[in-house]
Structure 1
Amino acid sequence: MFGRKANRRRTESRLARAKLPTLGSRWARRLRTAVVLPITGVASYGALEGALLVLDRPVRNLEVEGTFQRVSPIQIEAAVADGLDAGFLTLDLSALRERVEALDWVDRAKVGRRWPDTLIVRVTEHQAAARWNESGLLNVRGELFAEGSPHAFPELPSLAGPPGTERDVARRYLAVRGKLAEANLSLERLELDERGSWRLVLGGGQEIRLGRRDLDERFYRFFDVVAPTLAADLRRVEYVDLRYTNGFAVGWRDGPPENLAAVAAVPDRG
Structure 2
Amino acid sequence: MTVRPPAPRERTAPAPAAGPGRAPHPRMRARRVEVARDVGRRRRRRLNVVLAVVCLGVWTLVGLRSSLLDVDRVQVSGAEHTSADAVRAAAGIAPGEPMVGADLDGGTEAVAALPWTDEVRIARMWPGTVRIVVTERTPVAVVRTPGGWARLDAEGRVLDEAPARPDDLVALTGRRDAAPADTLPAADREVLATVAELPDALAPDVEEARRDDRGLVLALGEGWTVVVGDGEDLPAKAAAARAVREAADPADGCTIDVRVPDSPVLTPGGDCA
**What TM-score do you get using the length of structure 2 for normalisation?**
0.66
Partner-residue secondary structure (3-state), 1:248 = strand
User: Among residues 239, 259, 270, which one is paired with 2:255 in the alignment?
Assistant: 239
User: Among residues 195, 198, 209, which one is paired with 1:176 in the alignment?
Assistant: 198
Q: Over alpha carbons, which structure has the higher Rg?
A: 2
Instruction: Return the offset for 1:156.
Output: 0.9
Q: Residue 191 in 1 paired to residue 191 in 2?
A: no
The corresponding residue for 2:65 is 56
Q: Residue 155 in 1 paired to residue 174 in 2?
A: no
2:77 touches 2:133 (CA, 8 Å); kept in 1? yes
Q: Residue 32 in 1 paired to residue 41 in 2?
A: yes
| More helix, by proportion | 1
CA–CA distance in structure 2, aligned partners of residues 243 and 6 of structure 1: 121
The alpha-carbon distance between structure 1 residues 50 and 246, as it changes in their structure 2 partners (threshold 3 A), is closer
Return the letter of the residue paired with 2:76. Answer: E
Residues 255-270 of structure 1 mapped to structure 2, 5 A cutoff = none
Alignment deviations for residues 211-230 of structure 1 (CA, whole Å, 9 cap, x no partner): 56987698268436522322
Give RMSD over aligned pairs.
4.2
The corresponding residue for 1:127 is 138
The corresponding residue for 2:271 is 253
Overall identity of the aligned pairs, in %:
18
User: Among residues 67, 83, 103, which one is paired with 1:92 in the alignment?
Assistant: 103
2:201 touches 2:242 (CA, 8 Å); kept in 1? no
Instruction: Return the offset for 1:174.
Output: 3.9
Partner-residue secondary structure (3-state), 2:127 = coil
Return the letter of the residue paired with 2:137. Answer: H
Instruction: Return the offset for 1:75.
Output: 0.6
Q: Residue 143 in 1 paired to residue 143 in 2?
A: no
Alignment deviations for residues 16-61 of structure 1 (CA, whole Å, 9 cap, x no partner): 8x96965364664355324432442233122222222123335343
CA–CA distance in structure 1, aligned partners of residues 47 and 209 of structure 2: 72
Q: Residue 23 in 1 paired to residue 38 in 2?
A: no
The alpha-carbon distance between structure 1 residues 63 and 233, as it changes in their structure 2 partners (threshold 3 A), is same
Instruction: Return the offset for 1:99.
Output: 1.8
**What TM-score do you get using the length of structure 1 for normalisation?**
0.67
The alpha-carbon distance between structure 1 residues 28 and 146, as it changes in their structure 2 partners (threshold 3 A), is farther
Instruction: Return the offset for 1:240.
Output: 3.6
